[in-house]
Amino acid sequence: MTKSSDNGPIISLIVPCYNEERFLPAFLESLRQQSLSPLHFELIVLDGMSTDKSRDILRAYAKYFPHFCLEDNPARYVPQALNKGIQIARSSYIARMDVHTTYPPDYLEQLLFWQQKTGADNIGGLCQIVPRSSSSKALAIALALAHPLGVGNSTFRTGTREVKEVDTVPFGFFPKATFEKFGLFDERLIRNQDIEYNKRILRQGGKIILVPAIQCQYFARDRFSQLWKNMFDTGKWVIRAVRLTGRYDALSGRHFVPMLFVLYLLSVPMALFWGGTATPIFGIPAGFLAALYLLPFLFYLLSLFAVGLQLALQRRRPALLWFLPYTFFLMHLAYGLGSWYAVIKTKH
């Protein structure tokens, strides 16, 4: 289903979609409100054969977009959707969009302005993580996904005040020439394909720019079971990305920290056992050395509750004092276990 007009689009919006009836209306409304005329962008939705009302919603909104294209994505995975959309696109610029996100009215205009100003191969902004519901649990998940304790030095989540070169941005805005220079997304990577692609751009001399004035809102998961699965799968695909690409620099150092965390947790019982049975070393009791070994874990727990207390006071939500430490721990543990799962499964 395609519509066109006499005015050619400047930007092609590439949108992977599968069973997104809950989020599509808000997402599409944010596109309707763009200051850039809908005559100047084409909306290409790659649907993974949705079984809910997603297609009905998309067809209902098609009348608002003169350049609208709904294509099937039988593979259902994101990289296949992105590559198919890029190949269909008629515009000089590609904007990768996410259905779980809403965009302010100047989003597309800002991206276009800053790309033309900097000549970067990829442009992005800050991603504000917002809860899907008003519960303290949902708020805790959203806060953890935007805090350095939860996501490390991921600048587009934690924030910055200056335009700067970075190693990755959310979603991405590319001149179509970027894909001619650096290729398409790696379809073997069900997850982390955007991170690998940005690393490829940098490795081959390209430039990625983060502009803090450009912002969007992403709706975080609101159940711990969903968060666990997401973190476990992300950690798993960190290792698979390295194995499939053959490059450790396909990702950043922060992506491997949870593996070390899990390894440390597993070693704690052994250290305690050793401390209770071993003989002194250079006159220092083994029990004392074992206690020293526990200090990083105690510092970790104190950090969790300190951040929980700080954010609980800021938000005036006492329940965050308990939900946030649990959320951080769950994220770290699930991510690390996912990575080790991939290591073990790879060897066998």
Predicted confidence (pLDDT) per residue in 10-52, tens digit: 999 999 999 999 999 999 999 999 999 999 999 999 999 999 9
- Distance CA(11)–CA(179), nearest Å, equals 15
Neighbour-count burial for 60-74, b at 16+ CB within 10 Å, e otherwise: ebbeebbbbbbeebe
Q: What is the pLDDT of residues 17-26, one digit of tens each?
A: 999 999 999 9
Rg of the chain over Cα atoms, rounded to whole angstroms, equals: 23
33 closest CA partner among 99, 105, 93: 105
**In the numeric block, which tokens belong to residue 291?**
């206690």
Domains of the chain: 1-101 (3.90.550.10), 253-347 (no CATH)
pLDDT the model gives residue 161: 82
Whether residue 2 is predicted with pLDDT greater than 60 in this model: the reply is: no
Which secondary structure element, helix H or strand E, spans residue 170, and what is its range? Answer: none
Give 228-269 as a DSSP string.
Answer: HHHHHHHHHHHHHHHHHHT-GGGS-GGGGHHHHHHHHHHHHH
Q: Answer whether residue 4 shows pLDDT above 60.
A: no
274 pLDDT more than 80: no
- Residues forming a β-bridge with 72: 47
pLDDT of 164-205, one tens digit each?
999 889 899 999 999 999 999 999 999 889 989 999 999 999
pTM: 0.86
- CA pair distance 140, 331, nearest whole angstrom: 12
Q: Are 98 and 171 in contact (CB under 8 A)?
A: yes
CA distance 52 to 20: 8
Encode pLDDT of 131-161 as tens digits.
988 899 999 999 999 888 887 766 766 667 8
What's the rounded Cα separation, in Å, for the pair 54 and 127?
A: 24
In sequence order, the 6+-apart residues with CB closer than 8 A to the CB of 116 are: none
Whether the per-residue pLDDT at 267 is higher than 70: the answer is yes
Under 8 Å between Cβ of 164 and 209: yes
Pairing of strands 11-17, 93-96: parallel
The DSSP-derived string for 180-227 is HHH----TT-SSSHHHHHHHHHHHTT--EEEEEEEEEEEE---SHHHH
Cα dihedral 74→62→126→325 (10° resolution): -60
Q: How confident is the model at residue 1 (pLDDT cuts 50, 70, 90)?
A: very low
Question: Above 70 in pLDDT, residue 7?
Answer: no
From CA 337, how far away is CA 132, in angstroms rounded? 26
The pair phi, psi for residue 13, each rounded to 5°, is: -95, 120
Give the whole-angstrom CA distance, residue 17 versus residue 80. 11
Q: What's the pLDDT tens digit per position in 294-346?
A: 888 999 999 999 999 999 999 999 999 999 999 999 999 999 999 999 998 86
